[in-house]
Amino acid sequence: MVVSLCNPCSRYGDALKPRIGDEPVDHASQSQMVTRSGRHNLVVRPADAGDDRLLFDWVNRPDSLAYMLKTEGAVAWADHQRWFDARLRDDDSAIWIGELDQRPAGQVRLQRSTRGLVVAIYVDPGSRRRGVASGLLRHADAQAAIR
């Protein structure tokens, strides 16, 4: 089974020309959000090997699988491990984790392809409508611009 991008519903425009391969500058970012449910702190950091289980859990959620282009059905653990390990070593790929109030809340991935930069994003249902996706995209946008 091939783990693939979710539907590239949100593709960055030509304005973003990341020079992936240059020395990466990948700092965590932090932002404060005030929503109907109160004040929230969002930290966005690069994904690392310790996020394998978290991303495995998210990728197999029905509302995540629904957006996969090539993957049919649930992703097996061994396939996920192979895929994630390759992404961490892939200069054309970058994954960030958003932590809302110190709990994992969502992920965003940029993948450079022949079609340009493709965005895949997922926010945990319990953390939605609090600006997590917006914060993740802002971070990815800023990182893409300096790579």
Using CB under 6 A, list all residues that contact ligand COA: 6-7, 9, 63-64, 67, 120-123, 128-134
Closest distance of CB 132 from ligand COA, Å: 4
The number of residues in the chain equals 147
Closest distance of CB 89 from ligand COA, Å: 23
Q: Using CA atoms, how far apart are residues 118 and 9, in angstroms rounded to an integer?
A: 9
Which CB sits closer to ligand COA, 17 or 35? 35
Q: Where are the alpha helices (DSSP H) in 60-125?
A: 62-65, 77-88
Closest distance of CB 64 from ligand COA, Å: 6
Distances (CA, A) of 71 to 35, 60, 63, 85, 136: 35, 10, 13, 18, 24
Closest distance of CB 42 from ligand COA, Å: 10
Q: Decide: helix, strand or coil at residue 6.
A: strand
DSSP letter, residue 86? H
